[in-house]
């Protein structure tokens, strides 16, 4: 029995897993006629092995396979961060309603009923590949934004590692406060991209050792609005964008860019601001040395008294740091 067959074609790579060799070969032939590259697996474990070494665009899995079933394979694909966006089609018999329910629970994107019709299969493949390619493009857009944000951070040797720490501690503080997973993901992303708008701020202002003039300050403060504009087209950044715009607001309305007050500032933005303050104070900057943790919290609490920051979040961050 052939475990794997590769046929080179132009765009998509489709993984076909089925213990029935005739059925597998037939499906592979149809896909190859369309110009797709096909990888074949005779069971789920082989399919997972192939996924480790190949860039696959779509997986067609027979539900009934020995050793590892299609359902179990689908579950493994969807629970692995590297393959969770890979579309999976389960091939099942019409009578197996339970398989479909279990398949949906396992994260399957689509189902094809046996006996498989060529036209139906190719229609499903076409539509899922279209979605896959759009998802790939979105992923690339996110990658570009993250790379740009890290490139901006790298310009200033004093802020090295700031974004990663901000990402980690903002998410941890959000978790401590019981925020939902999508908000935690937004905090993780915002930690990296919050200052992306600095891309339009000249280096002479960005790295000026002394105090900024009022005009220079205006340019510097524009990074919040520019950052929002950069992130806005990305739907997956829906919860990140408000954090980017409002991470320099103050509770008493004296922050920028909008002078929001209290609860008008989203909780996620207030969380990032709190961590940002702390991290900025406890690391060396071009214009001053790092403060000790105690001095930083003493300074932040003075500013809490001025009505700038959220006392509960400052307490939460201090407790988080004490626990870690």
Q: Which residues are at the interface with Fe ion (CB under 5 A)?
A: 195
Minimum CB distance to Fe ion, residue 224 (Å): 6
Do β-strands 88-93 and 58-62 pair in parallel, antiparallel, or remain unpaired?
parallel
Minimum CB distance to Fe ion, residue 193 (Å): 11
Nearer to Fe ion, 93 or 286 (CB): 286
Place of tokens 């896959």: 132
Nearer to Fe ion, 19 or 195 (CB): 195
Nearer to Fe ion, 107 or 257 (CB): 257
Minimum CB distance to Fe ion, residue 303 (Å): 16
Q: Is 231 helix (H, G, I), strand (E, B) or coil?
A: helix
Token pair belonging to 10: 């132009």
Gap between the Cα atoms of 151 and 219, Å rounded: 19
Minimum CB distance to Fe ion, residue 80 (Å): 34
Minimum CB distance to Fe ion, residue 175 (Å): 23
- Catalytic positions, written as ranges: 198
Nearer to Fe ion, 51 or 277 (CB): 277
Determine contact, residues 309/300, Cβ cutoff 8 Å: yes
* Concatenated DSSP letters of 72-138: HHHHHHHTSTTTTTS-EEEEEETT-HHHHHHHHHTT--EEEEESPPHHHHHHHHHHHHHHHHHHHHH
Nearer to Fe ion, 109 or 228 (CB): 228
Q: Which residues, 6 or more positions from 170, have their beta carbon under 8 angstroms from its beta carbon?
A: 187, 188, 190, 191, 268, 271, 272, 275
Minimum CB distance to Fe ion, residue 273 (Å): 9
Gap between the Cα atoms of 296 and 97, Å rounded: 61
The torsion defined by the Cα of 43, 49, 52 and 53, in degrees rounded to 10, comes to: -110
| Residue 115 preceded by cis peptide, ω within 30 | yes
Could you tell me the CA-to-CA distances from 101 to 85, 96, 121 in Å, in that order? 20, 9, 20
| Chain residue whose CB lies nearest Fe ion | 195
Nearer to Fe ion, 131 or 280 (CB): 280
Nearer to Fe ion, 172 or 272 (CB): 272
Could you tell me the CA-to-CA distances from 114 to 57, 92, 291 in Å, in that order? 22, 6, 68
Minimum CB distance to Fe ion, residue 177 (Å): 22
Q: Is 39 helix (H, G, I), strand (E, B) or coil?
A: strand
Gap between the Cα atoms of 49 and 132, Å rounded: 21
Gap between the Cα atoms of 165 and 276, Å rounded: 9
């Amino acid at each position: 029995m052939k475990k794997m067959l590769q046929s080179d074609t132009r765009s998509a790579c489709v993984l076909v897993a089925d213990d029935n060799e005739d059925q597998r070969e037939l499906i592979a032939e149809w896909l190859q006629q369309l110009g797709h590259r096909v990888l074949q697996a005779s069971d789920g474990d082989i399919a997972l092995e192939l996924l480790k070494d190949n860039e696959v665009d779509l997986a067609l899995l027979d539900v009934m396979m020995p050793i590892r079933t299609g359902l179990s394979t689908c579950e493994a694909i969807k629970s692995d961060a590297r393959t969770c966006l890979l579309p999976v089609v389960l091939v099942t018999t019409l009578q197996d309603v339970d398989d479909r329910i279990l398949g949906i629970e396992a994260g399957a994107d689509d189902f094809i009923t046996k006996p498989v019709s060529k036209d139906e299969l190719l229609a499903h493949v076409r539509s899922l590949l279209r979605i896959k390619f759009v998802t790939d493009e979105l992923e690339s857009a996110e990658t570009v934004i993250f790379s740009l944000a890290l490139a901006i951070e790298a310009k200033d040797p004093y802020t090295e590692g700031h974004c990663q720490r901000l990402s980690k501690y903002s998410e941890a503080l959000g978790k401590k406060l019981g925020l939902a997973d999508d908000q935690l993901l937004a905090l993780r992303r915002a930690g990296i991209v919050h200052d992306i708008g600095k891309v339009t701020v000249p280096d002479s202002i960005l790295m000026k050792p002394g105090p900024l003039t009022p005009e220079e300050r205006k340019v510097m403060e524009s990074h919040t609005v520019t950052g929002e504009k950069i992130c806005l087209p990305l739907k997956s950044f829906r919860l990140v964008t408000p954090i980017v715009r409002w991470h320099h607001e103050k509770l008493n309305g004296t922050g920028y860019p909008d002078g929001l007050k209290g609860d008008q500032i989203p909780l996620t933005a207030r969380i990032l601001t709190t961590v940002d303050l702390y991290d900025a104070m406890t690391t060396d900057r071009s214009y001053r040395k790092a403060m000790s943790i105690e001095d930083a919290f003493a300074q932040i609490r003075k500013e809490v008294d001025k009505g700038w920051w959220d006392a509960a979040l400052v307490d939460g961050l201090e407790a988080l740091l004490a626990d870690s």
